[in-house]
Chains A and B, each alone.
Chain A
Amino acid sequence: MISEETLIRKGTPKGKGLDLGIRTMFAGLTYLILFVAVLLFCKICWDGAPTLFSTKAPFVNVSFLLDKNQTLHVFDNPQGERLQLPASEYMAYVKTNGEASVFNHQSFSYSGGGIIGPIVGTLLLTVGSIIIALFFGVSAAIYLSEYAKDSPFIHVVRLAILNLAGVPSIVFGLFGFSVFVLAVPIITDEPSSRSLFTLPLFASDYVISFQGWNSSLMAGCATLACMILPVIITASEESLKSVPQGFRDASLALGATRWQTIRRSVLPFSLPGILTSSLLAITRVAGETAPIMFTAAVAAKDDLPWEGMSNPLDILSSQVQALPYHIYTLAARIPNSEYTQRAQYGSVFVFLLLVALMSFSSMYLRAKVRAKLKW
């Protein structure tokens, strides 16, 4: 049977083999990427899952998630058994059994204990920077979408957003280091010698000193917030623009002011969209290493951020561990051996799992929001 279509397209049957070949080649390229991605994901899961999950109830190795990071000590006891103990347990062992009962001692930095420190640090950094970026980003998006007319100012703003989005993350690291770590103002009574300049405050010993926040959670959050600002602005603007113009017109026609219109008739409908898109920004923030290397992150820290703090605000000015930086340390600074693999693959697995979770839930929620809000 020759269908009508083939009758019209006379050329088609001739090149069928070539057609199929090219199609298959392109399909092959596409599925090659998918295959590589899935393969790598499975490899990490295969090697990392034993660290996090166990065959015995409760099936999750909670201690890896909840313990602090320590040095791993590996040694033989007098019975010739190979023991692997994190630093604290090792100290206790040496105390009870004496130095003489430790043979072939080796130690591996960062490989013992769990990863609660990096997890908490990444959480703090992410939450802090997202709050800052959402506040400024959504405000900027409101201006761009609701107020802006085609003016030179808007043109420059759009250009700035576009360029900011392309700045390499390591340049943000340099920027954060030179601005937030070394130059932003603080109020203090003892200005540091490296302060750029100081402004006296009225009738007190305190001065405003432009000496920066040092390497701290605060500086890290600010740097990361600057980095994702363009992402948040673009996503929010898109979401605001998707609210039908009729909503605004109706509200304005009823005598509401511009701000009332935005607050009551535009924002509530675009908020789900804004929040889902910012989930994507969260994945990016959580995964970045270069901007926090010099502004917030520290490789080893014994206490959790809030431990040993008299003033809760001190958390902001303390350094934190962070998962991506922790993985960098594990990959670059310690040798790869059978004893470090647990920490290495385990951390990467947990991190990848978190990222995958956020990424797919963002996709799912976005689809859901789109399906729900149809005008």
Chain B
Amino acid sequence: MSVVSSSEISRPPIQRKGFSYDRLIRYFFASNAGLTIVILLLIIAFLLKEGLGFFPGYRRELEIYRITGMEFVDLSRTNLTSHEQLTSLLNRAYFAEINGQADRELKRSTEAAALVADIDDFTASVRDSYFSATEEAAPAAEVIARLKAQYAALLSLAIKDLPPSPHLTEEERKGIIDAMMQRPIDNEDTPEFVTKLAGEYATARQKFAAPLEEARTRIDAFEAAGSELNSLVGEMTSLVRVSKDALNKSDILERERKSLLAAAASAKDPATRERLQQEAKTALAEVPDIRETTEKVLAKKSQCSEAHQKLHQSITGLTAQLTFSYQQAESVKLQRAALAAMPAFLKELEAAPAKIEAWNAAEPVHLSAAIHSFLTGKSWVTGGEWQDFYGILPLLTGSLMIAIVALLIAIPVGIGAAIYTNQFASLREQKLIKPIIEFIQAIPSVVLGFIGIFILGEALRTLSTSPALAWFPGFPMDERLNIFTAGCLLALMSIPTIFSLAEDAINNVPAAYSEASEALGASKLQTTFRVVVPAAFSGILAAVLLGFGRVIGETMVVLLVAGNRIKIPDFSAGVGAFFQPAHTMTGIIAQELGEVPVGSVHYRALFVVGILLFAIVLGINATAHHFTRKMKH
């Protein structure tokens, strides 16, 4: 210990008034403690600063959407899109049936073609140089010879590593390969046998298509029913696009003019100011007159209504005849999906004319409409050519569904492990369990995301294709990266949080409780589940809530593993909805912030998502904190 110096001792014990060295130090430390408040306030302030501009901007976009008549076009367009989707489902069912029946021929033909393509790819480079060499008048003989030798060498290499062909016999495979081997360098024809296989496939298709002729005509009729609406929408689309572009351009010019004026106001010398003002004047945007085009579009109101009515009629007539007795499971599935969607589509068609008549371009778009559209919007569409929509619902559902999966796994496992470790495990077991769980906590989330993509996703999908699990809804999984995979990884991530907090809570239950319980003759198990765990209940609840907060706020795992499809999962699939890809609030920020121009509506939308996320997580944490405090009292 160093000796306190004499000057420090001689200082008067009572502090001097005014400036004091010690007080200064105190203030220094206090200001550092205050820094946390400053940071928190800065976070809130800047999120709001960047985010709040979103709603006016989005309102303007929605206004343009309305006054240009795009909204009007979309009334018909959505129906057209669902008609197209239904048509494609019916078509897919039809072709799946034919291809399923002609499966053998299809596979033989594709496998043979794959063999040829593989060899062709392998030797393409030499052949290219051969053809470019022979284009010249008289290529040197040794060049040709060298290229031919190379070609032969490559050919023998190529056949070493060819794709498998389980549907071709050994002989057939050998025949194709031999034909390819003997093919001279300047011959690009496919071997005869391969052409023959393709022909066989075509005949098989024809053969199986014949009994389905009726289906073909009806599907074609279904498709043709939409053509009138299709051409109408096409016309209107090109009309409104012109006015939208004009309006967007004038908005940009107006913004430029404002910034020029601002620059002029702050310019130092008069000459520059004059020049900037002049520029601002020339940049003055005239508001384009879009009324004319809008009226042109509106003139089609009655036509649109009629087209809808006609479509409704013809489809009502067709629906009953669209059930075909397919044999392939795939076709049956697709057909069932198409027919299931039909009643809703018909309802939409029926309601459409009324909506079209009621639509009014002059109806003002209020700020509340923008807020409403953000909070209840079912689509998040950005960077499109048509119209951007910022609806939070698909992202929110994605985040919540992933959190549900994660918590369903993490709560039993995390709390169970906490109870076991604290109540039953020996000291040696504890010394093994705790460090490993602490290590799980330290695994960076991006590594977990990596594991999800490269290990878990593939493993789960392979598992889901096993026939023993086919009864499970949603199996086999369509996508390797989906809500469930992400949820599993996030469970692993939140287990340490839940475990350590729950273990703390159990540990904090006064020893007197369990002692009293045991003194009354309760067994260890009774003591644990009737006394200790109930006493720690609010602490355990806080642990679960903090785990939930962690899962909702996690970014990298969901960005990498959730599949990033911005769409509300299809809940008609039941539990299967959890095996579909989704996008999340955190993921969308991470994915899009780097690509959007600073200050744009899209950029601000991401900040609003951030505000929402911030609010949700703070709410969860505050609740958790409330429970922790309750535990202490």
Contact = CB atoms under 8 A, between A and B. Distances in A.
Given A160-B36, A327-B447, A167 B617 contact: yes
Interface in B420-442: 420-421, 424-425, 432-433, 435-440, 442
A40 B26 CA distance: 49
Contacts of B32: 136, 139-140, 143
B556 A289 contact: yes
Given A160-B40, A229-B39, A254-B4, A328 B446 contact: yes
Contacts of A57: none
A223 to B, nearest CB: 11
Nearest to B489: A40
B212 to A, nearest CB: 39
The prevalent SS among residues of A at the interface is: helix
A30 to B, nearest CB: 4
B47 A174 contact: yes
Contacts of B621: 162-163, 166
Contact of B433 (A34, A103, A139, A355): A34
Nearest to B121: A104
B28 interface: yes
Contacts of B49: 178
A147 B29 contact: yes
B485 to A, nearest CB: 14
Contacts of A182: 598
Interface string A143-176: 1101110000110110011111011111111110
A293 interface: yes
A36 B549 contact: no
Interface stretch (A11-19, A86-94, A108-116, A305-313): A11-19
Contacts of B417: 26, 29-30, 33
Contact of B442 (A12, A26, A356): A356
Interface in A329-375: 330-332, 336, 344-345, 348, 351-352, 355-356, 358-360, 363
A173 B444 contact: no
A144 to B, nearest CB: 6
A243 interface: no
A95 interface: no
Contacts of A328: 446, 449, 556, 559-560
B252 to A, nearest CB: 16
Contacts of B122: 104
Categorize the interface residue count of chain A.
Answer: 35 or more
Contacts of A293: 590, 593-594
Interface of B is mostly: helix
B40 A352 contact: no
Interface stretch (A62-70, A123-131, A280-288): A280-288
A355 B442 contact: yes
A344 B450 contact: yes
B566 interface: no
Nearest to B42: A179
Interface string B405-424: 00000001100110111001
Nearest to B620: A166
A80 B522 CA distance: 78
A352 B448 CA distance: 10
Contact of A157 (B13, B22, B34, B47): B34
A166 B549 contact: yes
A23 B420 CA distance: 7
A363 B424 contact: no
A321 to B, nearest CB: 14
A168 B2 contact: no
B297 to A, nearest CB: 39
Interface residues of B, number: 101
A324 interface: yes
A9 B446 contact: no
B247 interface: no
A140 B36 contact: yes
Interface stretch (B149-157, B273-281, B464-472): B149-157
Given A37-B436, A233-B36, A328-B556, A344 B454 contact: yes
A38 B436 contact: yes
B35 interface: yes
A139 B28 contact: yes
Nearest to A225: B39
Contact of B444 (A177, A255, A286): A286
B589 A173 contact: yes
A171 B444 contact: no
A290 B555 contact: yes
A352 B447 contact: yes
Given A164-B36, A170-B589, A332-B560, A34 B610 contact: no
Given A27-B424, A169-B555, A174 B154 contact: no
A256 interface: yes
A178 B446 contact: no
A288 to B, nearest CB: 7
A331 B449 contact: yes
A336 B454 contact: yes
Given A37-B440, A168-B614, A289-B444, A11 B523 contact: yes
B436 to A, nearest CB: 5
B516 interface: no
Nearest to B11: A257
A44 interface: yes
Given A15-B523, A147-B30, A290 B556 contact: yes
B525 interface: yes
A260 B3 CA distance: 11
A175 B613 contact: no
B442 A294 contact: no
B416 A29 contact: yes
B598 to A, nearest CB: 7
Contact of B521 (A11, A148, A325, A348): A11
Contacts of A43: 451, 455
Given A166-B549, A290-B586, 11 more contacts: A11-B521, A29-B413, A33-B436, A78-B150, A136-B35, A144-B33, A163-B40, A166-B621, A170-B610, A171-B43, A288-B445
Interface of A: 8-12, 15, 18-19, 22-23, 25-27, 29-30, 32-34, 36-38, 40, 43-44, 76, 78-80, 100, 102-104, 136, 139-140, 142-144, 146-148, 153-154, 156-157, 160-164, 166-175, 177-179, 182-183, 194, 226, 229-230, 233, 254-260, 264, 280, 283-284, 286-290, 293-294, 324-325, 327-328, 330-332, 336, 344-345, 348, 351-352, 355-356, 358-360, 363
15 contacts: A27-B425, A30-B433, A33-B492, A37-B439, A157-B37, A168-B554, A169-B555, A170-B610, A172-B43, A178-B607, A257-B22, A259-B25, A327-B447, A331-B449, A355-B444
| 7 A-B pairs with the lowest CB-CB distances in the bound complex, closest first | A168-B553, A287-B444, A143-B29, A139-B32, A26-B420, A29-B416, A166-B621
